[in-house]
């Protein structure tokens, strides 16, 4: 078991920032463990979600932002739905990803690259173009597409479009991303 | 009855490709039920999961562009078949009730959002506007003998304060609609458990594990097929069923229908309008047996 010396690494600015960005009161968590009990992803998490809540209460920025769990959370809303103290735990997990991104910390690179390529596709075409997303994902990760056998199945069924569907307002969508970058440096 | 469309329709990106059968069957069923849909002109991607993992203002802005277009076209209700789109659109509306948040979102948009638009799933509209009783009266080919595992996926009904429809732990809308069609609905304890969501490409192991659990449970409750309302769930259970079988050394062979496809079958709609041939695990055997044997529960 990993033991953390709380007094050495308590970061109160970080705690305040998580509370501000998520709109949640961290001290409401009384560690009942309900969120972890219902989380379908605990089996791949390095830190269970209730323990992330505890680490947040003690301001453990490094431990939280560098963990794998925040990249593997599917926002399934089980924790948020079941928290007896009405804490929006899934929103906190989202906010932790936002912070980890801003700090350039990524424990699950393939997950991040997939999401980034999805958004690049939306920025370019106005809508998500699935084949293009997978192609650039493979390009960026250098990972041979582990789903290769699915390609022919989906193609045979006419389920994968070969060409992106560019919308008329794609410039408007691109501008949303541009303005976001200007405002927040994203 | 020729009413002007009441709902602005947001199809969502996957409807253009991997869930095209959901898209065509949704349109066909709504037409048959007299629910007029007007596609939002030049709609764009709602940002899906990736956007909200980057930033909540960005995510809401991508969703809001579509709400603005719907409003400009004269609609105050947007409907969508896809739970992922639903969640993004509804969360955007919910968060924009805070004026500061709405200001931040509007800074990113060409044309600002000023509220006055609500969002519902097509499922909610069929359940509330038509309802099981009226649907039952329209059935031409009862789905008798078909035992289904109803699978809602994780976000159609959660979190309840945002989604505001059905029960977050034990939803029943699909159950009731399927029973109205004459099908038998198995008690399915994993109705809202996550299938692995969008991790299929980056972390296939996660999806095979979680979807494997769902397939196993469906067999345990002796269902002959899944019925679902979510493109991502459908893809993980159907297209990836072979991967699950490989990873877990199982031999599942369960068709995974969209609820709209089964409504269409029961209403006697043309096969070509329901995209049944697009399903990866063939539903042929099961469809051929419909009506030949009475279901154990509801004899009629
Ligand atoms: S939202 Fe994330 S942390 Fe919460 S239960 Fe689901 S996967 Fe786990
Ligand atoms: S369910 Fe809520 S109170 Fe219980 S451990 Fe999780 S966050 Fe804390």
Q: What is the ipTM of this complex?
A: 0.92
List pLDDT tens digits, range A28-58: 999 999 999 999 999 999 999 999 999 999 9
Same domain, A82 and A115: no
- CA-CA distance, A120 to A110, in Å (whole number)? 15
Same domain, B105 and B161: no
Q: What ranges in chain B are assigned the alpha helix state H?
A: 20-33, 48-54, 56-72, 83-95, 99-108, 122-125, 131-138, 160-163, 173-180, 204-220, 231-237, 241-248, 259-267, 284-289
Q: What is the number of the ligand 2 atom nearest to the C-alpha of A49?
A: 6
Per-residue confidence (pLDDT) for residue B3, from 0 to 100: 60
- CA-CA distance, A130 to A141, in Å (whole number)? 16
B291 located within any domain: no
Q: What is the mean pLDDT of the segment spanning B83-95?
A: 97
List pLDDT tens digits, range B205-223: 999 999 999 999 999 999 9
Percent residues over pLDDT 90 in chain A? 72
A168 located within any domain: yes
Of A103, A122, A156, which one is at a domain's C-terminal end? A103
Same domain, A98 and A151: no
A41 located within any domain: yes
C-alpha A82 – ligand 2 centre gap (Å):
8
Same domain, A17 and A98: yes
Angle between helices B259-267 and B173-180 (to 10 degrees): 20
Of A103, A130, A157, which one is at a domain's C-terminal end? A103
Q: Please give the tally of structural domains in chain B.
A: 2
Q: How confident is the model at residue A146 (pLDDT cuts 50, 70, 90)?
A: low
C-alpha A39 – ligand 2 centre gap (Å):
11
Of A57, A77, A103, which one is at a domain's C-terminal end? A103
B138 located within any domain: yes
Q: How confident is the model at residue B253 (pLDDT cuts 50, 70, 90)?
A: very high
Q: What ranges in A25-126 are assigned the alpha helix state H?
A: 34-38, 49-57, 61-65, 69-72, 78-82, 89-102, 109-125
Q: Name the residue of A75, A87, A94 to mutate for ligand 1: max ligand atoms within 8 A of Cβ.
A: A75
Q: How confident is the model at residue B294 (pLDDT cuts 50, 70, 90)?
A: low
Q: What is the mean pLDDT of the segment spanning B123-141?
A: 98
CA–CA–CA angle A65, A67, A72 (5° rounding): 110
Per-residue confidence (pLDDT) for residue A144, from 0 to 100: 64
Which numbered ligand comes closest to the C-alpha of A67?
Answer: 1
pLDDT at B299 over 80: no
A6 located within any domain: no
Same domain, B238 and B179: yes
Domain that residue B136 falls in: 131-286
pLDDT at A6 over 70: no
Strand ranges for B156-196 from DSSP E? 184-185
Tell me the chain A residues in contact with residue B167 when contact means C-beta distances shorter than 8 Å: none
Same domain, B157 and B85: no
Q: Please give the tally of structural domains in chain A.
A: 2
A99 located within any domain: yes
Same domain, A49 and A117: no
Is the bond preceding residue A105 a cis peptide, omega within 30 degrees?
A: no
Burial label, B128 (beta-carbon count in 10 A; 0-12, 13-18, 19+): exposed
Q: Whose CA is nearest to atom 1 of ligand 1?
A: A75
Same domain, B213 and B116: no
Of the partner residues B17, B52, B61, the one whose CB lies closest to the CB of residue A75 = B52
Per-residue confidence (pLDDT) for residue A179, from 0 to 100: 97
B77 located within any domain: yes
Same domain, B137 and B282: yes
pLDDT at A72 over 80: yes
Same domain, B168 and B64: no
- CA-CA distance, B216 to B151, in Å (whole number)? 13
Which numbered ligand comes closest to the C-alpha of A96?
Answer: 1
The answer to whether the beta carbons of residues B79 and B37 sit under 8 Å apart is yes
Tell me the chain A residues in contact with residue B42 when contact means C-beta distances shorter than 8 Å: 167-169
User: Which residues on neighbouring strands pair with residue B121, listed in sequence order?
Assistant: B80
Of B120, B139, B174, which one is at a domain's C-terminal end? B120
Per-residue confidence (pLDDT) for residue A116, from 0 to 100: 94
pLDDT at A2 over 80: no
Question: Which residue's structure tokens are 């732990």?
Answer: B169
Residues 6+ apart with CB under 8 A from B231: B12, B14, B15, B18, B19, B22, B81, B82, B84
The CB of A79 under 6 Å from ligand 1? The reply is yes
List pLDDT tens digits, range B35-63: 999 999 999 999 999 999 999 999 999 99
Which residue from A minimizes the CA distance to B111? A172
B8 located within any domain: yes
Q: Whose CA is nearest to atom 6 of ligand 1?
A: A76
Q: How confident is the model at residue B120 (pLDDT cuts 50, 70, 90)?
A: very high
Q: Compute the mean pLDDT over every residue in chain B, rounded to the nearest whole number.
A: 94
Burial label, A24 (beta-carbon count in 10 A; 0-12, 13-18, 19+): buried
Nearest to B92 by CA among B65, B53, B122: B65
A4 located within any domain: no
Q: What is the mean pLDDT of the segment spanning A17-23?
A: 97
Domain that residue A34 falls in: 12-103
DSSP annotation string for B65-123:
HHHHHHHHTT-SEEEES-HHHHHHHHHHHHHTTSHHHHHHHHHH-SS---S--EEEEHH
Which numbered ligand comes closest to the C-alpha of A88?
Answer: 2
Same domain, A151 and A169: yes
Of the partner residues B13, B155, B202, the one whose CB lies closest to the CB of residue A77 = B155
Same domain, A16 and A36: yes
Per-residue confidence (pLDDT) for residue A8, from 0 to 100: 73
Per-residue confidence (pLDDT) for residue B300, from 0 to 100: 40
Same domain, B187 and B69: no
Which residue from A minimizes the CA distance to B42? A167
Q: Is A135 or A89 the better-scoring residue by pLDDT? A: A89
Tell me the chain A residues in contact with residue B155 when contact means C-beta distances shorter than 8 Å: 75-77
A19 located within any domain: yes
Q: Is B249 helix (H, G, I), strand (E, B) or coil?
A: coil
B residues 106-125 lying closer than 8 A (beta carbon) to A: 107-110
Question: Which residue's structure tokens are 């789109």?
Answer: B85
Same domain, A115 and A80: no
**Contact check, Cβ <8 Å, B199/A111:** yes
Q: What is the mean pLDDT of the segment spanning A16-29?
A: 97
Q: Whose CA is nearest to atom 2 of ligand 1?
A: A73
B270 located within any domain: yes
Q: Compute the mean pLDDT over every residue in chain A, rounded to the nearest whole number.
A: 90
Same domain, B207 and B264: yes
Same domain, B185 and B100: no
A159 located within any domain: yes
**Contact check, Cβ <8 Å, A41/B194:** yes
pLDDT at A152 over 80: no
Same domain, A99 and A114: no
Same domain, B93 and B135: no
Same domain, A16 and A97: yes
pLDDT at A161 over 60: yes
Question: Which residue's structure tokens are 């994968």?
Answer: A160
List pLDDT tens digits, range B156-183: 999 999 999 999 999 999 999 999 999 9
Hey, CA dihedral for A13, A14, A20, A24, is it positive or negative?
Answer: negative
Q: What is the number of the ligand 2 atom nearest to the C-alpha of A89?
A: 7
Same domain, A79 and A149: no
List pLDDT tens digits, range A104-143: 999 999 999 999 999 999 999 999 988 888 888 888 887 7
Per-residue confidence (pLDDT) for residue A140, from 0 to 100: 84
Per-residue confidence (pLDDT) for residue A4, from 0 to 100: 64
pLDDT at A165 over 90: no
Same domain, B279 and B165: yes
Same domain, B217 and B140: yes
Same domain, A118 and A81: no
Per-residue confidence (pLDDT) for residue B147, from 0 to 100: 97
Same domain, A92 and A141: no
B98 located within any domain: yes
The CB of A36 under 6 Å from ligand 1? The reply is no
List pLDDT tens digits, range B181-200: 999 999 999 999 999 988 88
Looking at residue B162, which CATH number applies to its domain?
3.40.50.11810
Looking at residue B52, which CATH number applies to its domain?
1.20.1050.140
Looking at residue A27, which CATH number applies to its domain?
1.10.1060.10
pLDDT at B295 over 60: no
Q: What is the mean pLDDT of the segment spanning A69-88?
A: 97
């Amino acid at each position: 078991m990993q033991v953390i010396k709380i007094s050495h690494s308590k970061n109160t600015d970080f705690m305040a920032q998580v509370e501000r960005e998520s709109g949640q009161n961290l001290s409401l968590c009384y560690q009942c463990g309900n969120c972890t009990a219902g989380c379908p992803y605990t089996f791949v998490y390095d830190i269970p979600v209730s323990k992330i809540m505890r680490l947040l209460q003690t301001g453990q920025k490094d431990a939280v932002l560098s963990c794998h769990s925040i990249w593997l959370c599917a926002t399934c809303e089980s924790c948020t739905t079941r928290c007896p103290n009405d804490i929006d735990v899934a929103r906190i997990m989202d906010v932790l990803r936002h912070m980890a991104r801003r700090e350039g910390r990524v424990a699950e690179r393939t997950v991040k690259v997939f999401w980034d390529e999805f958004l690049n596709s939306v920025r370019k075409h106005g809508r998500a173009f699935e084949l293009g997303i997978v192609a650039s994902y493979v390009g960026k990760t250098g990972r041979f597409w582990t789903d290769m056998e699915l390609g022919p199945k989906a193609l045979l069924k006419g389920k994968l479009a070969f060409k992106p569907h560019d919308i008329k307002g794609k410039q408007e969508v691109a501008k949303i991303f541009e303005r976001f970058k200007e405002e927040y440096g994203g | 009855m020729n009413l002007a469309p009441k709902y602005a329709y947001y199809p969502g990106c996957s409807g253009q490709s991997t869930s095209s059968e959901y898209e065509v069957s949704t349109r066909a069923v709504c037409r048959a039920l007299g629910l007029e849909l007007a596609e939002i002109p030049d709609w764009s991607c709602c940002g899906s999961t990736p956007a909200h993992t980057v930033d909540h203002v960005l995510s809401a802005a991508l969703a809001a562009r579509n709400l603005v277009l719907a409003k400009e076209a004269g609609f105050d209700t947007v409907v969508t078949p896809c739970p992922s789109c639903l969640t993004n659109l509804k969360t955007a509306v919910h968060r924009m009730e805070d004026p500061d948040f709405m200001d931040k979102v509007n800074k990113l948009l060409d044309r600002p959002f000023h509220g006055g638009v609500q969002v519902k799933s097509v499922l909610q509209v069929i359940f509330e506007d038509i309802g099981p009783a009226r649907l039952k009266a329209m059935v031409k080919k009862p789905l008798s003998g078909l035992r289904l595992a109803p699978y809602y996926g994780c976000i159609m009904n959660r979190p309840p304060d945002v989604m505001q429809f059905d029960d977050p732990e034990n939803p029943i809308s699909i159950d009731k609609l399927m029973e109205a069609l004459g099908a038998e609905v198995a008690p399915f304890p994993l109705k809202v458990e996550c299938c692995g969501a969008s991790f299929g490409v980056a972390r296939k192991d996660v999806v095979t594990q979680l979807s494997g659990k769902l397939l196993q449970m469906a067999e345990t409750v002796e269902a002959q097929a899944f019925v679902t309302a979510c493109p991502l769930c459908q893809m993980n259970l159907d297209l990836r069923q072979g991967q699950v079988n490989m990873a877990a050394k199982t031999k599942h062979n369960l068709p995974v229908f969209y609820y709209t496809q089964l409504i269409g079958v029961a209403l006697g709609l043309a096969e070509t309008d329901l995209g049944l041939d697009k399903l990866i695990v063939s539903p042929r055997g099961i469809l051929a047996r419909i009506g030949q044997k009475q279901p154990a529960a509801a004899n009629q």
